[in-house]
Amino acid sequence: MSKEVYTITQALDKCMKYCSYQERCQKEVRDKLTTFNLTYEQIEHVISELIVQNFLNEERFAETFARGKFRIKGWGKKKITLALKQKEISEYCIRKGLIQIEEKDYLAYLSKLIEKTYLKNKGLSEFQRTAKTAQYIIGRGYEPSMVWDELKNYTND
């Protein structure tokens, strides 16, 4: 299977459309550009042009990504951070993204998730029920200390 060869102008136009459709990070755009048979210098030129024209903005991407993964998928901050690191987002942008998640919303969702998961695990011993609930929620990317603190409040009621 041969790759189609694009000019810089064609690649830039395609990437502008790609970035207009939804927020993208540099890694996603760079991966897309490598399929266009461009040289490293050409890829970097296209990326710098996208940044200059504000089609590509890592900080904006991190903010949108963090808000979306929390609100739509219910991910915790640890899972969001890991996903952003895999997309090669800087620590600064990751912190800016996580600020977008309101602490009260985060705690409210954590509490709701604990209640839902805890109720789903009935029929087990108290120890197993608590452990399974914590394991599931920690796996969703929530901080273990927060999960255990919230579980203590829930199981002591």
| Structural domain boundaries enclosing 74 | 58-99
Question: What helix, strand, coil percent values describe the chain, rounded to 5?
Answer: 75, 0, 25
Low-confidence stretches of the chain (pLDDT beneath 50): 1-2, 157
pLDDT at 38: 86
One domain, residues 63 and 93: yes
The per-residue pLDDT for 156 is 55
Work out the percent of the chain whose per-residue pLDDT is above 70: 95
Q: Is residue 28 part of a domain?
A: yes
User: Which tens digit of pLDDT belongs to each residue from 119-157?
Assistant: 898 888 888 889 999 999 999 999 999 999 988 876 654
- As to burial, measured by CB atoms within 10 angstroms (0-12 exposed, 13-18 middle, 19+ buried), residue 16 is middle
pTM value is 0.86
pLDDT of residue 155: 66
* 108 and 151 assigned to the same domain: yes
